[in-house]
Structure 1
Amino acid sequence: MESYIKNYFQKQQDTLAGIPAGQISEIIEKFKEALKSDRQIFVIGNGGSAANASHFITDLGKGASDKTYRRFRCLSLNDNVSWMTALGNDYSYEEVFSRQLANFGRPGDILFSMSVSGNSPNLVKALEAADELGMYTISLVGGKVGVLGEKSDLAVVIDDLHYGRVEDAHMGICHVICYAFMENEALQKEN
């Protein structure tokens, strides 16, 4: 068992080492622009990525916002269960995010998606809705890349197919984004 555990963590370290820092820097710059222009940031995912979306918004909306000159306007579209079930029941599960964006999304806002496969139908539908609304789209995906990876304005591909390692890498990226605003004075001030 110890050999399995060591091997698992070695593969996790290799996956984390492959995260493209330049693209994460681009995301931080987009978030800086969104903060300055008071744009909304929407985050979505399914399964473990839904939990990551909620966690990310908690850190961005509270932790990072406590340090910046203005609070991030951010929302996980996974977190209103009543609305999601109404949309899924009355329309389809593929529309649970796109229909929320129809209420909230505005040109210049950001849609941030997380998906290991990059092909979740409800995330793809949300991406299409965001494009129609003139939003900027960012996706974190796994090694399969999928539609999200191919069609987002900015896609970060974690070159691994293991769901646990990819989801851990996605959450690591989310933490880096938040802590960039919490720990760098240059990002905390309006300039």
Structure 2
Amino acid sequence: MSGLESLYPFLYPSPGDSPGEGAAARDAAAERVLAEVASSTRAKVAEIDRLRLQVAREQAEQIAACAGAMVAAFAAGGRLFTFGNGGSSTDAQAVAAWFMTPDRSGAGLPALALTADVAVLTALSNDVSFDVVFARQIAASGRAGDIAFGLSTSGGSSNVLAGLAAARRIGMVTVGLAGGDGGRMAEPGTVDHLFVMPSSSVHRIQEAQTTVYQVLGELVRETLRSS
């Protein structure tokens, strides 16, 4: 039995099936599967729509304030450092690319994803501790007036929190994206600008976080263009 057939045996003929009966049963099973997939897809789309609207309704002022702080930092020569783990590491690279890629004015903004340098990540993890992979990079390269942008679906990633703490000690603007209730990232004095996606689904959290950082990028660029 093939891998696909072992997952969906009801879509394939059984030894005792007559041609007509087997085909009818398989067609009915296929229709049920497709209906369930369609229903699940619609439910997920509705869920992320609700979450995005909730975030926009409840955090619009904070997003605008954060964009203003980032504009001031970039205008003064600041740079953006992004970081996260797992899927959030990919999102961190997307954030950096979003700000760094030239827009229609032909200018990009200085941004670096701390997850992009495998040599640094593995060296710090092997020689020191995985908990410091972002904090050590921030301490080495960050300066007052730069921006630290940390992503964590739980809000509790130790190395992300350590990176934000190192950034605050230096005098950087700190931005955090989290999910659920914000976790440890929501504790007072942890981050200057915090955006919490109130969901227990990692997928919905990451989808909503994508919207937040894209809106931030658009606000920052539009403000810099018009200033």
Alignment of 1:51 onto 2:90: yes
What is the 5 A alignment of 1:160-171?
Answer: 160-171=199-210
The whole-number CA distance in structure 1 between the counterparts of 2:66 and 2:92 is 15
RMSD: 1.6
Contact 1:116 1:166 in 2 (8 A): yes
5+ unaligned residues in a row in structure 2: which ranges?
Answer: 1-35
The whole-number CA distance in structure 2 between the counterparts of 1:51 and 1:170 is 12
Q: TM-score, normalization: structure 2?
A: 0.77
- Among 67, 70, 80, the alignment partner of 2:117 is 80
1:29 matched residue in structure 2: 68
The whole-number CA distance in structure 2 between the counterparts of 1:25 and 1:103 is 30
- Among 142, 158, 174, the alignment partner of 2:197 is 158
The whole-number CA distance in structure 1 between the counterparts of 2:163 and 2:193 is 15
| Percent sequence identity over aligned pairs | 29
Alignment of 1:175 onto 2:214: yes
1:104 matched residue in structure 2: 141
Contact 1:140 1:149 in 2 (8 A): no
Amino acid corresponding to residue 105 of structure 2 in structure 1? K
Amino acid corresponding to residue 127 of structure 1 in structure 2? L
- Among 21, 34, 40, the alignment partner of 1:4 is 40
Q: Which has the larger radius of gyration?
A: 2
The whole-number CA distance in structure 2 between the counterparts of 1:130 and 1:35 is 16
5+ unaligned residues in a row in structure 1: which ranges?
Answer: none
Alignment of 1:67 onto 2:105: yes
Tell me the secondary structure at the aligned position of residue 79 of structure 1. Answer: coil
Cα deviation, residue 177, structure 1:
2.0
Greater relative CO (CA pairs within 8 A, separation 6+): 1
Amino acid corresponding to residue 142 of structure 1 in structure 2? G
The whole-number CA distance in structure 1 between the counterparts of 2:217 and 2:168 is 25
Amino acid corresponding to residue 197 of structure 2 in structure 1? I
Cα deviation, residue 87, structure 1:
0.5
Cα deviation, residue 73, structure 1:
1.8
